[in-house]
């Protein structure tokens, strides 16, 4: 959760650990087949409260080819808004579940 100072770094490590075997397999197969493919992983982490490390997020978008600064900002803003909207929906359903009478 994004209440801890290092929440993004911890989540980054979890994602890297989770997909390292996939990247390794693709790179191994590519090398074996001499395909020339190279894989890398780019993580985009948004906290449950809409927190985002702005500079990191924008730099990663740029590394994927999103060169226009306004476009990168627009993507970042929409990502935060969507995250907050989804969190709001989850909380609404949680509230309904807590307050529903079961027979």
Question: Exposed, middle or buried, 11 (CB in 10 Å: 0-12/13-18/19+)?
Answer: middle
The dihedral over CA atoms of 1, 17, 55, 83, expressed in degrees to the nearest 10, equals -40
Taking 3-state DSSP, the helix, strand and coil percentages for the chain, each rounded to the nearest 5, stand at: 65, 0, 35
Q: Which domain holds residue 94?
A: 7-99
Most confident range, picked from 33-37, 62-66, 83-87: 62-66
Which pTM value belongs to this model? 0.68
- Phi and psi at residue 102, to the nearest 5°: -105, 140
In a domain, 1, yes or no: no
Domain count, the chain: 1
What's the rounded Cα separation, in Å, for the pair 17 and 102? 41
Digit-coded pLDDT (tens) for 6-62? 877 888 899 999 999 999 999 999 999 999 888 889 988 887 666 788 888 999 999
Q: Is residue 2 part of a domain?
A: no
Within a domain: 87: yes
């Amino acid at each position: 959760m994004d209440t801890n100072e290092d929440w993004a770094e911890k989540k980054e490590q979890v994602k890297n650990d989770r997909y390292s075997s996939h990247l390794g397999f693709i790179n191994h197969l590519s090398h074996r087949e001499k395909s020339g493919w190279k894989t890398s992983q780019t993580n985009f982490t948004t906290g449950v409260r809409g927190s985002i490390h702005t500079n990191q997020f924008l730099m990663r978008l740029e590394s994927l080819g999103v060169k226009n600064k306004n476009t990168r900002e627009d993507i970042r803003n929409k990502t935060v808004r969507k995250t907050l909207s989804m969190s709001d929906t989850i909380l609404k359903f949680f509230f309904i579940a807590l307050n529903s009478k079961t027979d």
